[in-house]
């Protein structure tokens, strides 16, 4: 069936049956909205760990890391490892969400700033963010699955054959030494890079797969709520860990077969001999267009600030039975993901050697490799991989769906709909869950590649981050200041970038806004290996087939000998400065900007410096830093000149945040009552007593856990350096 064996199909059907059974059985335990949206707050460390791992890990992580590693080398691992440096903070922040004792993150804004409208705005932004994350997973999963069902060349349509031919021309030009290309060929290279023709076509449509998976998610997650989501996380977490290691040994075996090496170490030596040294620079190199060390540092700062304001943070930790369970489960689950990420990147390096000539769309890499490496075994492993990829998506999508539906119910439907009745809670939650999944499916069609969507979600929460952090830790943060930060950030970084090109469509073709980076030709020196010698012989053969006029325009490539040093000139692709989806070429030959307009970079380019003279990663770093810092500056500035919230409101909120959660709900309610009666009960915990800053003294469990987490960060970086350097 489309290239799948019966064993593959059986594997997929068994997985579908298992998750639907879990959803139906979980439905019987739902008695109220807390059961549906937070699983009754009764989960222990094992479930919390796999729930955190499942929410943090989706198909786009697996596919995204391999595709960015395919293009950038080892530094591409940071597309999913960028959160590594923020992971120790989870040990500190996880108890915050449990101590909030709220149903949604929207409730935080209502309680802290006394504004239902702010909670509603958060709910809208949070739902869009959840749908965007679901969309990324759907896109990554479908691109991978369609790659497991390829068409042969004989099955191409005329249009597909024509596109394939153009893709082969692009591939030849990309591999050639840029210095040896004629002016005509250089122009053709630039034109084809804009077009980005594909050479891979599948039997199955991506949209069909998206809607089938959405239907399965709806069947079990809408029925069983968060309990179904978390129980399937346990099953799916095991499958995700399995897929993290499944392809790597098969890839090394194939490398050894092709290049005559042997063993794990031999395969790594072969990879080092054939790939440029820049591919093993973990913190970026001149050849890495996306992930330099300074861009990684900027993303790490942004992710640390933004991640805690995501709506699913409260669900992932607030559903634990106590604070310690929340912090152990969430921190360990995320460290599990970081470890798996390293092995996804290691497979990406192997895939560069095996498949750089086979694919023009690297998003298809994982699926293509699955068929090539696991298909010949004929043990249903392709079906197991497809089921695992679906598991990676569905474990995340279900939790995000439940989170988004709780926001809609609790912060939009309940306070603003006059016909609200408590008996409607679960029904409305299920209906909105369906809408959220459908919205994610629709968003999945609006981006070209996975990295574009990842960047969108990394940056989306800047709108709310300052209001959360300063609301948690600064008494002067008030409603006018929070509104100013939220609305100005949303206007400048979300609404205007989207709607300005809509209202003024001529901007998309304005010459100034079509500016691209102008990377200088990159000259690198290598020692010739067999692959280099063969490639040079092919270039010589192609030159000899040219006509006399073309031969005069293009110098004859010189032959290479094994072990000889040679230089190669590469030209990195030009990248759009102002458009999030780049500059594209239309059917009529005209070029236009696609996606959203980066207004902050336009201002910098107009009044401060010419950004076309800067590297693409430098421009992206500047944009990230502006978006991270701006909302904090606005909130603090406005708060200085406006009145803070009432003392009673602030005292009640902050004393609750100092009151440790009790496992027994009755005892917890009693402790809270004692705190509300005496708001100064825990005043001795403050580091800066008498100030407006709410920083508290750490207990031993805080210090030991945080330091252990920091140690694990260095351990994981050490593992990454060790694995990447083996064989070098």
Torsion, CA 254, CA 152, CA 191, CA 177, rounded to 10? 30
pLDDT of 186 reads 79
Bridge partner list, 597? 579
Nearest to 558 by CA among 573, 530, 539: 539
Residue 665 φ/ψ, nearest 5 degrees: -55, -35
**Comparison of pLDDT for 605 and 138, the residue scoring more:** 605
The more confident residue out of 128 and 483 is 483
| Class of residue 561 by CB neighbours under 10 A (exposed 0-12, middle 13-18, buried 19+) | exposed
- Candidate ranges 5-19, 49-63, 357-371; pick with highest mean pLDDT: 5-19
Write out the two tokens for 72: 């950038």
Mean pLDDT of 568-588: 78
Q: Tokens at residue 102, please? A: 């709220």
3-state secondary structure of 585: strand
CATH architecture classification, 6-150+202-397+434-460: Up-down Bundle (1.20)
The reported pLDDT for the residue numbered 44 is: 60
Given a contact cutoff of 8 angstroms between Cβ atoms, the answer to whether 436 and 130 are in contact is yes
One DSSP character per residue, 284-314 reads: --TT-SS--HHHHHHHHHHHHHHGGGSHHHH
Give the orientation angle of helix 223-259 with respect to helix 6-27, to 10 degrees. Answer: 160
Greatest mean pLDDT among 424-428, 429-433, 569-573: 429-433
pLDDT grade, residue 416 (50/70/90)?
confident
Residue 589 confidence (pLDDT): 73
pLDDT at 714: 93
The tokens for 168 are 């082969």
Instruction: Tell whether the model's pLDDT for residue 434 goes beyond 70.
Output: yes
CA separation, residue 603 to residues 526, 606, 626 (Å): 41, 5, 12
Average pLDDT over residues 624-646: 94
CB-based burial of residue 436 (10 Å sphere; 0-12 exposed, 13-18 middle, 19+ buried)?
buried
Euclidean distance between CA atoms 720 and 345, whole angstroms: 9
Per the model's pLDDT, the better-predicted residue between 22 and 191 turns out to be: 191
Find which of 428-437, 513-522, 690-699 is predicted with most confidence, using mean pLDDT.
Answer: 690-699
Q: Are 272 and 280 in contact (CB under 8 A)?
A: yes
Distance separating alpha carbons of residues 651 and 649, to the nearest angstrom: 6
Residue-wise pLDDT for 503-525, tens only, equals 998 999 899 999 988 877 767 67
CA atoms within 13 A on the CB side of 622: 19
For 567, phi then psi, to 5°, come to: -110, 145
For the segment 647-665, the average pLDDT, to the nearest whole number, is: 90
User: How far from 598 is each of 300, 461, 494, 533, 718, CA to CA, in Å?
Assistant: 21, 16, 9, 44, 36
At residue 29, the pLDDT reads 55
Give the residue-averaged pLDDT of 222-251: 66
Let me know: does 30 contact 225? Beta carbons within 8 Å: yes
Count of all residues that appear for the chain in the document: 728
Say which range, 178-182, 232-236, 492-496, 574-578, has the weakest mean pLDDT. 232-236
Q: What is the predicted pLDDT for the residue at 40?
A: 46
What is the distance between the terminal CA atoms of the chain, rounded to a whole angstrom?
43
Q: What is the pLDDT of residues 155-204, one digit of tens each?
A: 777 887 888 888 888 877 776 766 677 788 878 877 787 777 877 677 66
Residue whose token pair is 């981050």: 465
Q: Where are the alpha helices (DSSP H) in 157-222?
A: 158-175, 183-195, 206-217
Choose between 70 and 696: higher pLDDT.
696
Q: Which tens digits make up the pLDDT trace of 110-157? A: 999 999 999 999 988 888 877 877 777 777 777 777 766 677 777 777
662 token code pair: 């009790």
pLDDT at 451 over 70: no
CA–CA separation, 211 vs 205, rounded Å? 11
Element (H, E) at 264: helix 263-274
Q: Which stretches does DSSP call E strand in 583-672?
A: 583-585, 591-593
Taking only the tens place, the pLDDT of each residue in 36-62 is 444 445 556 666 776 667 666 666 677
Q: Classify residue 206 as exposed, middle or buried by CB count within 10 Å of its CB (0-12, 13-18, 19+).
A: middle
Tokens representing residue 186 in the block: 């250089």
Beta strands in 446-599 (DSSP E): 522-527, 565-570, 583-585, 591-593
CA 95 to chain centre: 25
The answer to whether 93 touches 469, Cβ cutoff 8 Å, is no
**Per-residue pLDDT, 369:** 82
Quick one: pLDDT at residue 676? 92
Q: In whole angstroms, how large is the CA radius of gyration of the chain?
A: 27
* Cα 705–chain centre separation: 26
Angle at 537 between CA 536 and CA 540, to 5 degrees: 90
Q: pTM for the whole thing?
A: 0.74
Domain residues of the chain, as ranges?
6-150+202-397+434-460, 647-685
Note the pLDDT tens digit of each residue in 261-318. 888 888 888 888 777 766 777 775 544 555 677 887 888 888 888 888 888 777 777 6
DSSP 42-62: -B-HHHHHHHHHHHH--HHHH
Averaged pLDDT, 536-540 = 80
The string of pLDDT tens digits covering residues 75-111 is 878 877 878 888 998 999 888 988 988 888 889 999 9
CA distance 552 to 287: 30
Contacts of 642 (CB under 8 A, 6+ apart): 478, 480, 481
Task: Output the pLDDT for position 286.
Answer: 45
- Report the pLDDT value the prediction gives residue 287, as an integer from 0 to 100: 47
């Amino acid at each position: 069936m489309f290239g799948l064996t019966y064993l593959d199909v059986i594997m997929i059907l068994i997985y579908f049956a298992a998750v639907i059974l879990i959803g139906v059985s979980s439905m019987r335990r739902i008695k109220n909205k807390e059961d549906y949206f937070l699983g009754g707050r009764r989960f222990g460390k094992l479930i919390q760990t796999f729930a955190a791992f499942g929410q943090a890990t989706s198909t786009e992580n697996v596919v995204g890391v391999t595709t960015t590693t395919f293009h950038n080398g080892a530094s591409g691992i940071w597309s999913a490892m960028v959160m590594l440096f923020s992971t120790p903070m989870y040990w500190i922040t996880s108890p915050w969400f449990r101590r909030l004792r709220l149903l949604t993150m929207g409730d935080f804004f209502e309680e802290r700033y006394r504004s239902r409208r702010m909670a509603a705005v958060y709910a809208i932004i949070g739902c869009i963010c959840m749908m965007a994350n679901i969309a990324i997973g759907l896109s990554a999963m479908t691109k991978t699955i369609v790659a497991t069902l390829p068409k042969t060349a004989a099955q191409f349509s005329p249009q597909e054959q024509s596109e394939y031919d153009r893709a082969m021309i692009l591939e030849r030009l990309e591999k050639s030494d840029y210095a040896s290309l004629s002016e005509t060929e250089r122009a053709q290279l630039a034109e084809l890079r804009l077009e980005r023709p594909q050479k891979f076509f599948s039997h199955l449509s991506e949209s069909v797969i998206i809607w089938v998976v959405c239907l399965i998610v709806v069947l079990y997650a809408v029925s069983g709520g968060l309990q179904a989501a978390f129980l399937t996380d346990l099953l799916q977490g095991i499958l995700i860990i399995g897929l993290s290691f499944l392809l790597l040994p098969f890839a090394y075996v194939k490398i050894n077969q092709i290049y005559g090496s042997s063993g794990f170490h031999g395969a790594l030596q072969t990879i080092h001999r054939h790939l440029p040294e820049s591919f093993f620079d973990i913190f970026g190199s001149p050849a890495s267009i996306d992930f330099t060390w300074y861009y990684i540092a900027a993303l790490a700062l942004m992710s640390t600030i933004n991640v805690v304001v995501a709506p699913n943070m409260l669900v992932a930790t607030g559903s634990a039975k106590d604070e310690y369970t929340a912090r152990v489960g969430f921190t360990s689950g995320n460290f599990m993901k970081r470890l798996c990420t390293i092995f996804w990147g290691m497979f990406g390096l192997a895939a560069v050697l095996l498949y750089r000539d086979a694919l023009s769309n690297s998003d298809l890499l994982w699926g293509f490799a699955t068929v090539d490496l696991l298909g010949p075994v004929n043990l249903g492993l392709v079906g197991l991989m497809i089921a695992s990829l679906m598991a990676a998506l569905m474990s995340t999508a279900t939790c995000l769906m439940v989170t988004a539906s709780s926001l809609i119910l609790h912060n939009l439907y309940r306070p603003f709909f006059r016909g609200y009745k408590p008996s409607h809670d679960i029904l409305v939650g299920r209906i909105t869950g369906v809408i959220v999944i459908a919205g994610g499916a629709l968003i999945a069609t609006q981006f070209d590649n996975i990295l574009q969507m990842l960047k969108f979600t990394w940056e989306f929460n800047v709108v709310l981050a300052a209001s959360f952090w300063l609301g948690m830790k600064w008494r002067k943060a008030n409603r006018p200041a929070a509104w100013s930060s939220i609305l100005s950030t949303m206007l400048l970084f979300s609404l205007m970038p989207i709607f300005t090109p809509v209202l003024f469509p001529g901007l998309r073709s304005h010459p100034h806004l079509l500016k691209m980076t102008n990377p200088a030709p990159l000259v690198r020196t290598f020692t010739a290996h067999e692959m280099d010698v063969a490639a040079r012989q092919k270039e010589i053969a192609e030159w000899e087939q040219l006509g006399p006029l073309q031969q005069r325009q293009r110098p004859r490539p010189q032959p290479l000998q094994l072990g000889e040093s040679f230089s190669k000139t590469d030209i990195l692709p030009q990248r759009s400065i102002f458009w999030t989806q780049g500059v594209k070429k239309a059917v009529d030959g005209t070029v236009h900007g696609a996606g959203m307009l980066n207004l902050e970079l336009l201002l910098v380019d107009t009044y401060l410096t010419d950004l076309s003279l800067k590297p693409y990663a430098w421009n992206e770093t500047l944009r990230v830093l502006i978006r991270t810092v701006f909302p904090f500056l606005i909130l603090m500035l406005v708060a200085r000149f406006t009145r803070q919230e009432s003392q009673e409101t602030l005292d009640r909120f902050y004393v609750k945040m100092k009151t440790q959660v009790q496992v027994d709900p009755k005892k917890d309610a009693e402790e809270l009552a004692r705190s509300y009666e005496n708001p100064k009960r825990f005043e001795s915990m403050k580091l800066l007593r008498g100030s407006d800053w709410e920083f508290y003294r750490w207990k031993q469990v805080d210090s030991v856990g945080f330091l252990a987490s920091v140690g694990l960060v260095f351990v994981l970086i050490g593992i990454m350096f060790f694995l990447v350097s083996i064989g070098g």
